[in-house]
Amino acid sequence: MNLKDQMAADVGAVFLNRDEFAREIELGGVRLEAVAECRVEPAERHDFQINDFASVNAVVWEIHAATADCPALSPGEST
């Protein structure tokens, strides 16, 4: 077995310590365990604009989950 095959076989067991970091979330109608981090980005870091207000802070969620647990979503698609 080569390194790539070994990593693929181990990913489910070593992806993350779910007891310490994961929370249950719903993504695309599917409930799964993931590491979900939320942050606020200042207006200077993005090009969002709401109505006439160009300097708007954005709330950004970053989700880390095993691909096999996730529903099929298109890049940029929200649920």
**Residue 64 in domain:** yes
**Residue 75 in domain:** no
pTM above 0.85, yes or no: no
**Residue 78 in domain:** no
Count CA atoms within 13 Å of residue 76 on its CB side: 0
Backbone angles phi, psi at 40, to 5 degrees: -110, 125
In order of 23, 36, 40, 44, the CA distances from 71 in angstroms are: 17, 16, 26, 32
Query: How many domains does one find in the chain?
Result: 1
Q: Which domain holds residue 48?
A: 3-69
d(CA 65, CA 11): 11
pLDDT values of the chain reduced to their tens digit, one per residue, 79 residues: 899 888 777 766 665 566 777 889 888 888 988 888 888 887 776 666 666 666 667 788 888 887 778 777 666 666 5
**Residue 74 in domain:** no
**Residue 16 in domain:** yes
